């Protein structure tokens, strides 16, 4: 069972990584995910379900396969909670389920988008990686690695679409906020870190 789940999760992850990477390189393949109901849209969500279903199946069936659930799990659980909280804050900025599903593309610059152009990527990466670490499953960690890689590729395919649609407004935003974490914005919001700010 776990071997099948691992194979399905990796196959879904490899396909998503390939298609997202292709969209990032070849402008004629944009947007991916598709922004209309179509066969491509169905394929996109089928691959998402393959990754997610396999990941959660492995969490449930192989917990403790790498190390027993214990102290390390606390750190993983903390990362999961932070990632999940960030996802909730990000989703609150969206105007409806169509945007969450990728059927509408809008430019956001408030809330968590003030500190990251892609806070949903950070949230999902933290939640997925944290949950895999918390359960001590090496199989879940392998699938989590593919999911994390896919999430980090997504902005490379999505941001050019937003730049095309929103032009100068998005370009100005892109020069002000970093792709993943804008340390300058965070330090300004939560107090100056002076010379200790990461680059």
* Domain-embedded: residue 131: yes
Q: What is the pTM of this model?
A: 0.86
CATH of the domain at 73: 1.20.120
Q: What is the CA radius of gyration of the chain?
A: 18
Specify if 132 maps to a domain. yes
**Considering the domain boundaries, does residue 199 fall inside one?**
no
Domain count for the chain, please give it. 1
Q: Which of 106-110, 116-120, 162-166 has the highest mean pLDDT?
A: 116-120
- 99 domain residue, yes or no: yes
**Residue 186 pLDDT exceeds 60:** yes
Residue 185 CA to residue 2 CA, distance in Å, equals 43
* Within-domain flag for 7: yes
What pLDDT score does 199 carry? 47
What secondary structure does DSSP assign to 49-115, as a single string? HHHHHHHHHHHHHHTTSSS-SSHHHHHHHHHHHHHHHHHHHHHHHSSSHHHHHTSS-----SGGGGT
Chain mean pLDDT for the chain: 90
Residue 66 pLDDT level (bands cut at 50, 70, 90): very high
**Mean pLDDT value of segment 12-18:** 97
The boundaries of the domain holding residue 86 are 2-187
């Amino acid at each position: 069972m776990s071997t099948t789940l691992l194979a399905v999760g990796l196959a879904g992850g490899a396909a998503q990584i390939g298609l997202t990477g292709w969209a990032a390189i070849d402008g004629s393949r944009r947007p991916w995910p598709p922004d209309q109901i179509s066969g491509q849209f169905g394929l996109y969500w089928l691959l998402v379900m393959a990754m997610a279903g396999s990941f959660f199946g492995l969490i449930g069936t192989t917990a403790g396969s790498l190390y027993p659930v214990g102290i390390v799990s606390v750190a993983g659980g903390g990362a999961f909670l932070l990632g999940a909280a960030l996802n909730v804050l990000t989703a609150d900025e969206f105007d409806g389920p169509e945007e969450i599903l990728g059927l509408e593309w809008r430019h956001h610059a408030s809330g968590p988008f003030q500190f990251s152009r892609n806070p949903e990527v950070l949230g999902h990466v933290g939640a997925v990686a944290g949950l895999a670490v918390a359960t001590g499953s090496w199989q879940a960690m392998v699938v989590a690695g593919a999911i994390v890689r896919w999430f980090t590729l997504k902005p490379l395919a999505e941001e050019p679409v937003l730049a095309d649609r929103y032009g100068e407004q998005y370009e100005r935003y892109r020069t002000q906020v970093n792709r993943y974490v804008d340390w300058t914005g965070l330090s300004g919001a939560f107090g100056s870190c002076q010379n200790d700010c990461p680059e």
